[in-house]
Structure 1
Amino acid sequence: MTDVSARLAEATDQPVLERLWLLFRHDLSEFSGALPNPDGTFRSEWLHAALTRADWAAYLLTSSASPVGLAFVRGLTAPTRVLNSFFVVRGARRAGIGLRAVREVVAKHPGPWEVAFQESNVAAVAFWRRVATEIAGDGWSEERRPVTGRPDLPPDTWITFNAPVDARR
């Protein structure tokens, strides 16, 4: 079984997170149609928020000595946490790393959680339903919600579940 660690990012991790962010946004562009900015980057306000706002947390996902992904959590002081961004590099997918990383992140913040994804992203649909079932059994729900300020986009799918005190069990 491949190892994985989800640790709270430090200031020195910012360059790595910025690179992983570009890969993440590139992957999502397949479903959103978003094109890079003129400088080759993608919009990055969530990256900035995860690194600077008190109510957010940025996690760096690693396997052995390699960075393999990121997880951004918002709403740390709210009644419900939101897994705002989650990404595992393609070379680490389908090895159980993503599921173990999500379990580790949510275990650090037990209680209600929400995560959104696009229904057109078939792999994400299967992954997030599996995550919810692994963490909450049949105690999770799913609903479609319009994307705020983007009536041109199809609704996001939101999964809601409750993470027990130790979601890694």
Structure 2
Amino acid sequence: MSDVSVRLAGTADRPAVERLWLMFHHDMSEFDGTLPNADGTFRSERLHLAFSDPDWAPYLLTGEGGGAAGFAFVRGLTGPKRVLNSFFVVRGARRSGVGLRAVREIVAGHPGPWEVAFQDANAAAVRFWRRVAAQLAGDAWTEERRGVPNRPDLAPDVWISFDSPAGADPAGAD
């Protein structure tokens, strides 16, 4: 899979994003030890905010043939920096360039300072986000560890920060 379409998710897309959200949390449970609720769902406050708060934007990633390839939630649209709050690519689309192209397009649509968090224990995420930062910002990005709010039992998150200039080319080079 080499093509990806990235678009703002609307109300009609919400059921697909909700199912992708479950897959995302299933993957993340490996790193944070979270179990689903009794009904098989996971906490969904961020999902609800992405579709209801004007400071958030939900994106749906679709692959060749229109299949759901992932999602991204951006918060801080009206603040001093954007945060790529949640980002997920289904396993069948990983390592194909879909994730990098999707991030590049989303970031280009919201110029300015950006932050993204991930877990050190997630080796694939560590490689991916460092590569994204280097491709989007060259050497002009930083990395720091920050404790997870209200979760002293978890290892600190890794935060990468970089700027996306206005007029950045979302196609870029892979």
Range class of TM-score, shorter chain: over 0.9
Moved over 4 A (4+): none
Q: 1:27-66, aligned counterparts within 5 Å?
A: 27-64=27-64, 65-66=66-67
- For the 8 Å contact 1:106–1:167, the answer to whether it is kept is no
CA separation in 2, counterparts of 1:147 and 1:139?
25
Work out the CA distance in 1 between the residues paired with 2:4 and 2:108: 14
Q: CA deviation at 1:5?
A: 1.2
* Deviation of the 1:6 alpha carbon: 1.1
RMSD: 0.9
Q: CA deviation at 1:167?
A: 4.6
- Residue 12 of structure 1 deviates from its aligned partner by 0.2
Q: Could you list the runs of 5+ residues in structure 1 that have no partner in the other structure?
A: none
Matched residues in 1 for 2:29 and 2:38: separation? 15
1:4-23 equivalent positions in 2, closer than 5 A: 4-23=4-23
Identity of aligned pairs, percent?
Answer: 67
Q: 2: CA distance between counterparts of 1:89 and 1:158?
A: 22
1:95 alignment partner in structure 2: 96
Look up the match of 1:73: 74
Q: Which amino acid aligns with 1:8?
A: L
Equivalent in the alignment of 1:84 = 85
In structure 2, stretches of 5+ residues that fail to align are none
Aligned-partner Cα distance in 2 for 1:12–1:5 = 16
Q: Which residue of 1 aligns with 2:109?
A: 108
SS in 2 for 1:129: helix
1:1-56 deviation line (CA, Å, top 9, x unaligned): 71111100011001000000000000000000000000000111000000110100
Q: TM-score, normalised to structure 1's length?
A: 0.98
Aligned length: 169
Q: Distance in 2 between matches of 1:163 and 1:86?
A: 18
In the aligned structure 2, how far is the partner of 1:139 from the partner of 1:104? 19
